[in-house]
Amino acid sequence: MNEALPRQTYRTESDGENEERIAELFAQWARAKQLKIGKDDPDKQKPRIDRLLYRQHVVAFFEIKTCSYAWGYWSRGWCTGRAKVELLRQLASIVRVPVLLVVEFDYGTLGYVDVDTEYAEIADFGRDDRADRADREPGALFNWGKLNRCNQPCLSG
């Protein structure tokens, strides 16, 4: 049965290739292997999280984000949709391993933050370049001091 998405998806083939590249970079840095969860079918509900990291067992789940500005560009921090963060927090309470947001910033800096990290709520967050009302939503603003660059320790092992 095909379940309709609540909104249009904009994912392209190059988005999928970019996600795979970022996932591989993150997995190499974490000295682990990564696995895609589910399939991003534009005609069906997509998986709630992109990937998992494993060694001999699962060590983390992670969602991949990209950012059009450089690390540290905005003084207050990095922001993403709050609804996604809250869904991932629910997953973290179930799986009991870290659930991370992995972000590639402009100029190639790779960073991550655990979804259980404290954030500031932003009333109106999102993009304005597609004339899609669904692109605006409440946001979760993570202070730069709470984010980690991938040249810092992440996961033991």
Q: Where are the domains of the chain?
A: 13-149
pLDDT band at 24 (very low <50, low <70, confident <90, very high): very high
DSSP string, 54-118: ESSSEEEEEEEEEEEEETT-SSS-EEEEHHHHHHHHHHHHHH-S-EEEEEEEETT-EEEEETTS-
13-149 under CATH 3.40.1350.10, yes or no: yes
Amino acid identity of 152? Q
CA distance 157 to 124: 39
Three-state SS letters, 31-66? CCEEEECCCCCCCCCCCCCCEEEECCCEEEEEEEEE
Residue with the bigger pLDDT between 136 and 75: it is 75
Is residue 132 helix, strand or coil? Answer: coil
Which is it for strands 51-54 and 33-36: parallel, antiparallel or unpaired?
antiparallel
Which range (86-90, 95-99, 149-153) has the least confidence?
A: 149-153
Residue with tokens 């709470």: 146
Quote the pTM value. Answer: 0.82
Q: Write the CA distances from 143 to 4, 10, 41, 95, 154, integer angstroms.
A: 35, 28, 33, 25, 18
pLDDT band at 123 (very low <50, low <70, confident <90, very high): confident
Structure tokens at 52: 């998992």
Opening angle at CA 58, ends 49 and 111, nearest 5: 55
Is-contact 69 105, C-beta < 8 A?
yes
Average pLDDT, the chain: 83
Amino acid identity of 112? Y
